[in-house]
Chain A
Amino acid sequence: MPTTEEVRADLAEIVNEVAGVPADDVQLDKSFTDDLDVDSLSMVEIIYAAEEKFGVSIPDEEAKNLKTVGDAVAYIERAAA
């Protein structure tokens, strides 16, 4: 079972690859839209890459509630448990 920090770091790498945001900026309290400037299409790509990476399913209706990096990490941890 990966730690919260490991999930955050892996997700940060995805956000960096898809949207070019420096991985160190991808911290739990950051909002994807407001702080990291991730647009809706990049968010679709991030969710897809996270599903592949962590082997979880994130339905569209859940994905739209993932406002912050912390929301996404918590969802992935619950879904993978």
Chain B
Amino acid sequence: MTLKLAPGTKYAAILGFGGYRPRRVVDNAEICTMIDSSDEWIRTRSGIIERRWASDDETIQMMSVAAARKALDRAGLEPGQIDTVIVSTVTHLYQTPAVATTIASELGAKSAAAFDISAACAGFCYATAMADSFIRSGASKYVLIIGVERLTDMTNRSDRSTAFLFADGAGAAVIGPSDFPGIGPVVWGSDGDQAPLIQQTEPWDAALAWDTESYRSTEGDTSWPTLRMEGNPVFKWASYTMAKTAAEAMDAAGVPSEDLDVFAPHQANMRITDAMFRALKLPSRVVVARDIARQGNTSAASIPLAIEAMLESGEAHTGQTCLIIGFGAGLVYAGQVIILP
């Protein structure tokens, strides 16, 4: 007996982007009431002028649904046509169920396959690779992918190295069958030897006992696990090792730098973006995403938010080639060249 297989489709492409930015704008002056820093120090070390922080009602669910509705509108699809929902987040504080299921339900994608992934700042690129494969194999037809974070729920507001950096938001994309290849091969991987460079300070079970003397003594006045990062080694890895990964993604897609239109790396830090741009020796006409200046670092949400903004402002256009690369806690990374919708 030979099993019948789903026919699948030859190509997939991103059909629409959507984003949600929290209402509250937090400038560097406000940050400097929490940490000993200055507007000038924050701008020169990160390029951040202001960031968006979510209020209580701007939940993971609420921000995701808002971003997804915009992406669906732009793709010209009804929610009921979505058969798969993938959500990348590291700050959904329910262990189970996956937030993807209730997002699918609220949108009206009633019986869609739905699950969350944990790939930190590489999550959007991981989800893009999965959606591309699902569609081409025939497992899915239209996939909604969402990168969403409330990083401020896990930020130590008195940590000088991260308090000014982390922010909140959601970015979504709808991916479906296409008559041209819209998503290049993914170059991805991980390096768990370097996991301690960016990680949660304590497991949740330690937080359950946070009022014990031993927990207080290790974490000071913090009563909740937060995200800790070793800036300089991460900067070096992101700027140079990731530039090599980005170059491999361009090679894999057969797009030399003279044919690249847009560079949209994870918005981790403006200095990383600049160093990668130099290391990749990209031509100066390539449009570079610099959304971090106004949005801060939103992990898995940063790439779709940045691309949505560039498409809206007219800096980037339909049909252009765009290099995306995500990198972060794990360490994990993924990059590919896409054609903009």
Contacts and interface: CB of A to CB of B under 8 A. Distances in A.
Interface of A: 39-41, 44-45, 48, 60
20 contacts: A39-B44, A39-B45, A40-B231, A40-B232, A41-B45, A41-B231, A41-B232, A41-B235, A41-B271, A44-B232, A44-B235, A44-B236, A44-B239, A45-B239, A45-B275, A48-B236, A48-B239, A48-B240, A60-B232, A60-B233
Contacts of B233: 60
Given A39-B45, A41-B45, A44-B236, 16 more contacts: A39-B44, A40-B231, A41-B231, A41-B232, A41-B235, A41-B271, A44-B232, A44-B235, A44-B239, A45-B239, A45-B275, A48-B236, A48-B239, A48-B240, A60-B232, A60-B233
Contacts of B231: 40-41
A39 B271 CA distance: 12
Contacts of B235: 41, 44
Most B C-beta atoms less than 10 A away, residue of A40, A41, A60 = A41
A contacts with B: majority SS? helix
B91 to A, nearest CB: 26
Nearest to A45: B275
Contacts of B45: 39, 41
Contacts of B44: 39
A52 B235 CA distance: 17
Name the 3 nearest CB pairs between A and B, nearest first.
Answer: A44-B236, A41-B271, A44-B232
Contacts of B236: 44, 48
Interface in B29-50: 44-45
A60 B233 CA distance: 8
Contacts of B239: 44-45, 48
A57 to B, nearest CB: 13
Interface in B240-261: 240
A48 B278 CA distance: 13
Contacts of A48: 236, 239-240
Interface in B185-215: none
Contacts of A45: 239, 275
Most A C-beta atoms less than 10 A away, residue of B231, B232, B233 = B232
A67 B45 CA distance: 20
A41 B239 CA distance: 10
